[in-house]
Each structure stands twice: as structure tokens, then as C-alpha cells.
Amino acid sequence: MRTFLGILLLVGVIFCSVHTKEVREFDETLSLENILPFKQKSFKWSPPASNGNATQVKLHVTVANLDTIDERSMTFGCDLYLAQSWKDSRIGVPENMQEGYRNIPTDLVGEIWKPDTFFKNARSVKFQTLPSPNEYAWQFKDQTILYMVKLYVILTCPMNFKRFPHDTQTCRIVIESMSNDESKIIFVWDPEIPWKVEPELELPQMELISTESAKSSTKYAIGKYSCLELIFTFKRRVCSSIMRMYIPIGLLVSLSWLSFWMQPEAGQARLSLGTVCLLILAFQYMAIQRTFPPVSYVMTMDIFVAGCALFIIASLVELAWVNTLVASVTSEVAKANGSFVQGKLRHLGHYEEETTGGMTLTGQSQNLNKARDLLHKREKALQIDRFSRWCFPIFFLGSIVVYWFGVAN
């Protein structure tokens, strides 16, 4: 019995020792010493160049989201995944590695060499850390390292608003090395999938019409640096501009034409209507201007607003003309007890009168010429109003057609 128990104990000890050895071997594959031997730790700060050649770093960018473009600050924000891959022969590959790749633990990612990549036109970069740091690294059997990180980047985007609100803007993501020139690092786009933009992206006022990639070099005083660009082309949605600008301003101009249907004597009411329309137009233009940075050139929107302002001013000029004709009639009537007289002349010395205030004119010949002149001036004022009721809308619609097909497009 004792012999049997001794044999069981010996077998158990052997099994435990073998299992412990396998676990130790597995743990050693994930240790820093296995990935990067102690004698090579000094290579953490230098690129893994071989035979004096520059290290080729392949980049892939996935744009997960694009924020609203801010015209005032000339910036745009985006959530993106930045993937970089390169070969590093200094990193050891475990002999017992079964799959084609393995994950490098997060605590060891900072111990290996990584490209000093930065966004050249970035205003701010945020690294996602919740619920855990959004980065990972893979090691492949051919000694390729793949490093991916998720970032939120706010980038500058120089814009030209000459054709606003029919403008097209081009924004870029510019990627460059911070301290390694082309003799040490060369950036290239991934030949299989250089970039990807989520098709569900939707912007409130802009439409993404194209995305392109480019490769270039930037020359500085200290050397030549490799540079990659991802170019976005945005076009402003016309429907948004129609609802926010064209229709409200067009209705405002049409409102000023109501003065043409008022009596010529209602000068104060007609003047108030035109002045209020002009002030509302100015305030609306100022509200639109506040969303843009101060520019030194004329925008397409400025031409449209200026044209609408000219139509409102023209209605005020028409009012001044009509008021000048009516004012002489009013002054003459005011001398005669303040009543207004309209008469239809029958023949010299006699006419049939129609009064609104009760004043009566005799048929004496000395009053006939004065009455004829007063009635002629008021009738001319009415004719000007009737002509303006049709002339202003026709010219305004014609101007819109010329603006839309000649200036805007």
C-alpha cells in the first residue's frame, strides 16, 4: 500500500513539474526579454534600419466620423483609426508561435520602437483612454509590427468663401515624421487599402463628394521629410442655403412691395414699411456674417444681399417720387380748409365734383387750371404705383435668374 501511494506521489510531482514548465515557457513568450533582448534595449529610440536603408512605414487611415466643419475657425474634426506597420528584425519571434501573429501586451507596447508620427495640420489631438487605452500592437512571423491607435483630431482647413453658399472646400489630413527625415523613415500608403471612409457619414451643411490620397516630401532646413496626405473635398448643400438665406431674403424684398398697393397719401406708413424691411435685411446679413471669419474679398452671398438691398432702396426711391407729386396736391388742398378734392372736368368753366372731405370748388375759370393740375399729379402718382407693381417683381425674378446661372453656378 505504501509502495502504491509513493508511486502516485511521484507521478503527481512529475506532472506538476511538466505543467509548470509549459506555463513558464508560455509566459516567457510574452516577456520583454523574449520580445526584445536586454542587449538590444538601446534600439528603442532608433528606427530599425537595415544596411543603412530607410525604414518603410506603411500607413492606413480609417475615418469613422467627421464633425461639422467650422467656418469661423476654419477647422474640422474627425474620429479616425491610424494603423502603421513596419518590419523590425531586432524583435525576436518565439519558436513556439503557432499562429501567423500574436498580440503584444499593452504594457510592452511602450518598450518597442514606434514611428514618431504626427499630424502636421492638427490643432489638437485626443487619445481615447476609456474604458481602456484604444491602442494595440501585433507581431507577425515575418517580424512585421502592426500598431493601431484610435484618435480624435481637430485639423485646420484653409477655406475660400468667394463662392459661398455655392462653394467647394478642400480639407486635408497631413501626416509626417517629427524627427526622422527620409534617410531614416519613408511613409507610404498601404498598397491594399490605403484609407477607408465610413459610407454612413452625414454632415449637416456639407456633402463629402470625393476622397483622395497623396504622397509628397517636405523640405526643411535640417532635411527632407516624408509626408502623406488624405484629401477630402466637400460641397455645400444648396437646399440648406435656399431655406436659410434665399427664401427669407426674397420674402423680405417682396414684403417691401406692399407699399405699391397703399394710397399715395400714406407716406409715413410706406416709408416705415420700406425702412423696416431694409433694417431686417441688414440684421439678417450680419447674422450670416458672424458665422464666417473676416475676409477681404466679395462673396457670392454679398452680391445677392446687395442686389436685394438695392431693390428695397429702389422702392424707397419710388416712394420719394410719388410723395413729391402728392405733396404738392396736399399742400394746395391744405390751403383750402384741409380737404382733398377729386374732380372730373366736363368743359371749360364747369365740372362735376367728387369730394372726400366736403370742400366745394366753384366752376370759375381761375380755379379750373389749378384743379386740373392737382388731379393730373395725383393720377401720375397712381400710374407710377401701378407700373411698379409689375415692374419690380419682373426685374427681381430676372435678376435671380441671372444670379443663379451666371454668378452662383
pLDDT for the residue 233? 96
pLDDT for the residue 325? 80
Q: Is the pLDDT of residue 355 over 50?
A: no
pLDDT for the residue 48? 80
* Domain positions in the chain: 43-236, 240-408
Q: Is the pLDDT of residue 81 over 80?
A: yes
Domain 240-408 classification at class level: mainly alpha
Of how many residues is the chain composed? 409
Residue 363 CA, chain-centre distance (Å), reads 74
Sign, Cα dihedral of 397, 400, 406, 409: negative
The arithmetic mean of pLDDT across residues 275-279, rounded, is: 94
How sure is the predictor about 367, in pLDDT bands with cuts at 50, 70 and 90? low
Query: 287-303 pLDDT, tens per residue?
Result: 888 888 888 899 999 99
For residue 298, count CB atoms less than 10 angstroms from its CB and return exposed for 0-12, middle for 13-18, buried for 19 or more. Answer: exposed
The arithmetic mean of pLDDT across residues 32-36, rounded, is: 53
The arithmetic mean of pLDDT across residues 371-399, rounded, is: 85
Query: 322-351 pLDDT, tens per residue?
Result: 888 877 665 555 555 444 444 443 443 344
Q: Distance (Å, rounded) from C-alpha 398 to C-alpha 396?
A: 5
Q: Distance (Å, rounded) from C-alpha 116 to C-alpha 46?
A: 10
pLDDT for the residue 56? 92
Q: Is the pLDDT of residue 239 over 50?
A: yes
Q: Distance (Å, rounded) from C-alpha 305 to C-alpha 61?
A: 42
How sure is the predictor about 10, in pLDDT bands with cuts at 50, 70 and 90? very low
Q: Identify the residue whose cell numbers are 474627425.
A: 78
How sure is the predictor about 148, in pLDDT bands with cuts at 50, 70 and 90? very high
pLDDT for the residue 131? 77
* Range with lowest mean pLDDT among 250-254, 266-270, 305-309, 315-319: 266-270
Most confident of 109-123, 316-330, 370-384: 109-123
Pair 131, 83: CB distance under 8 Å: no
To the nearest whole percent, how much of the chain has pLDDT over 70?
A: 76
* Superfamily in which the 43-236 domain is placed by CATH: Neurotransmitter-gated ion-channel ligand-binding domain (2.70.170.10)
Q: Is the pLDDT of residue 21 over 70?
A: no
Task: Show the CA angle centred on residue 205, arms to residues 203 and 207, nearest 5°.
Answer: 60
Q: Identify the residue whose cell numbers are 509626417.
A: 176
Pair 143, 169: CB distance under 8 Å: no
pLDDT for the residue 13? 40
Query: 194-237 pLDDT, tens per residue?
Result: 999 988 888 888 999 999 999 998 888 888 999 999 999 999 98
Q: Is the pLDDT of residue 59 over 50?
A: yes
pLDDT for the residue 344? 41
